Amino acid sequence: MGKLEAAFSDLGRLDRLASQETAVHRLDPTAKVMTTIVFVLCVVSFPKYEISALLPYALFPLWLAGSGRIPFGFVAKKVLAVAPFAFLVGIWNPLFDKKIMVQLGELGLSGGWISFFSIMTRFCLTVGTAFVLIAVTSFQGLCLGLQRLGLPRVMTVQLLFLYRYLFVLGEEAVRASRARALRAFSGRGMGLSVFTQIIGHLLLRTIERAERVYSAMLARGFSGEIRLSREVRFGGAEALFVLCWSAFFLAARFINLPQALGKLITGI
């Protein structure tokens, strides 16, 4: 399987994981979206030099993944794939913030390096949680949850269409890539000029197919409403889920739990 085919296969795997039947999957999407919003707000609100206080927040994505039977390796691979963007944002900090803030024996750690590690920690927590949330909710359920929380319907439907049409674009790209490889003898047809022509044809074919898909949706009664295959409602289990995790996030925001636990154990 080529790299392009593997990439879209992994994207489709999120939908397959979201179709599982577990207690986490059956929770109302609104509850999971609300809890994740509180999670993200708490994580990003920490000072730039904070690292240890962020560690307890890893319990939330780990619990979601474990309860929803989401492979940890799959999520880690996805996070690593987009990690270079956060790396490029934070790697410049040590060049501008050279004040020594932590002394480890003869090794001094500057504020720039601490803030860099803090950025990478926040990135792993938020992006990893986003992937797990989609895997236990489905992108369709995520859009429904956002809509119930007040996001305009036109935006949620556009988000859903954007996600769905990625698969249309991906299928056409895989076909074009395979056809190009089969016709490229001795390296011919692999140049930039041929590649730009393929991109143009790919966009035209994708637009044409997307119009056929939309016509088929209208023929089947699509009215702009987001619907799920299972009936969901916000009940007692959802309220308990939101309250318990939100209380934990707020407690971890105002109390450095690793530091408090260290003091309790060592008595220092």
Of the listed ranges 50-59, 107-116, 253-262, the one predicted with least confidence? 107-116
Return the sign of the alpha-carbon dihedral for residues 222, 225, 227, 231: negative
Write down the pLDDT at residue 251.
Answer: 92
- Distance, in Å, from the CA atom of 8 to the CA atom of 268, rounded to the nearest integer, reads 52
User: Looking at residue 190, what is its pLDDT?
Assistant: 60
Asked if 52 contacts 258 with a C-beta cutoff of 8 angstroms, the reply is yes
Tell me the C-alpha to C-alpha distance, in Å, between residue 81 and each of 93, 196, 212, 222, 234.
Answer: 22, 26, 33, 35, 34
Instruction: Quote the strand ranges of 17-96, DSSP E.
Output: none
- Its pTM stands at 0.80
Using pLDDT thresholds of 50, 70 and 90, give the confidence band for residue 152: confident
